Amino acid sequence: MSKDKKPIIHISNVSKHFGDFKALEDVSLEVETGEKVVVIGPSGSGKSTLLRTINKLETISKGSIVVNGFDLNAPSVDINKVRQDVGMVFQSFNLFRHKTALENLTLAPIKLRNTSKEDAARQGLALLAKVGIEGKADQYPVQLSGGQQQRVAIARALAMNPKIMLFDEPTSALDPEMIGEVLDVMVKLAKEGMTMVVVTHEMGFAREVADWIVFMDEGRILEIGTPTHFFENPEHPRLKKFLAQIL
């Protein structure tokens, strides 16, 4: 968001309509390499929609999005190639149910990057160790707790060596005692310099990790600022109200 570097995510004047309903309205946001952006806002404000436009799981009605140098709306763009460099973590984990934890990690590198099975398994095991569940490599998703599943899901995204990681409320579906283990992994990732866009209600995480916090309401970005700014002198009345409700 400073002017000296080129943003890796460049969202300009984006609108998204579902029929008559405006889920996003003239949204602009720039994220530079290595930055961590946390998106907050009330339910239905368009946070997920915005996040999902970044890897084109959601198409846009107006505006433009450039990710990693690729204009997502250009007819020539190979969206599958773009997505290989953009990891995504979902609220509901979405692990491949027919694959073990390790197979969840190795499937994409083997099929999409032509990584050999041995290399993929080695890298996969290292990633499972990194998220703290190397012992569960041969378990199927149903055999894992929610926190473990979400950590596998993060590792699965990391297995493609993405340049950007998107998180859509990664801890919202978890029992309280498992939230910490997932946030720890995300903090670790942030410290390693990963570019991250995170939709979350975890204000502690936002305060600790975010370079910028984005507040959305009714499809618009109402305020962007540093954590200090956000928590010490929020400006927009609706942001004040929102923070009063959740803190």
Residues that bind another protein (CB under 8 A): 55, 57, 80-81, 83-84, 86-88, 90, 92, 94-98, 107-108, 111-112, 140, 142-143, 153, 156-157, 160
Q: How far is the CB of 23 from ligand ATP (least distance, A)?
A: 4
Q: Which stretch binds Mg ion (CB under 5 A): 1-9, 40-48, 113-121, 235-243?
A: 40-48
Tell me the C-alpha distance between 224 and 168, whole Å. Answer: 18
Contact code string over 20-39 relative to ligand ATP, x by CB under 6 A? -x-x----------------
Q: How far is the CB of 97 from ligand ATP (least distance, A)?
A: 23
For ligand ATP, the closer of residues 24 and 101 by Cβ is 24
Q: How far is the CB of 7 from another protein (least distance, A)?
A: 21
Calculate the CA 83 to chain-centre distance. 12
Do the Cβ atoms of 50 and 24 come closer than 8 Å? yes
46's contact among Mg ion, ligand ATP, another protein, none, with CB below 5 to 8 A by partner kind, is: ligand ATP
Considering only residues 5, 6, 44, 188, which one is a binding residue for ligand ATP as defined by CB under 6 A? 44
Amino acid at site 212: W
Residue 170 interacting with ligand ATP (CB under 6 A): no
Which of these, 43, 57, 133, lies nearest to 94 by C-alpha position?
Answer: 57
243's contact among Mg ion, another protein, ligand ATP, none, with CB below 5 to 8 A by partner kind, is: none
Do the Cβ atoms of 101 and 141 come closer than 8 Å? yes
Window 185 to 244, contacts with ligand ATP (CB under 6 A): none
12's contact among Mg ion, another protein, ligand ATP, none, with CB below 5 to 8 A by partner kind, is: none
CA torsion angle 155 157 158 163 (round to 10): -160
Tell me the C-alpha distance between 178 and 205, whole Å. Answer: 14
Contacts 24+ apart (CB under 8 A), 126-129: 127/155, 127/158, 127/159, 128/101, 128/102, 128/152, 128/155
Calculate the CA 157 to chain-centre distance. 10
95's contact among Mg ion, ligand ATP, another protein, none, with CB below 5 to 8 A by partner kind, is: another protein
Half-sphere exposure of 105 (CA within 13 A, CB side): 33
Residues that bind ligand ATP (CB under 6 A): 18, 21, 23, 41, 43-49
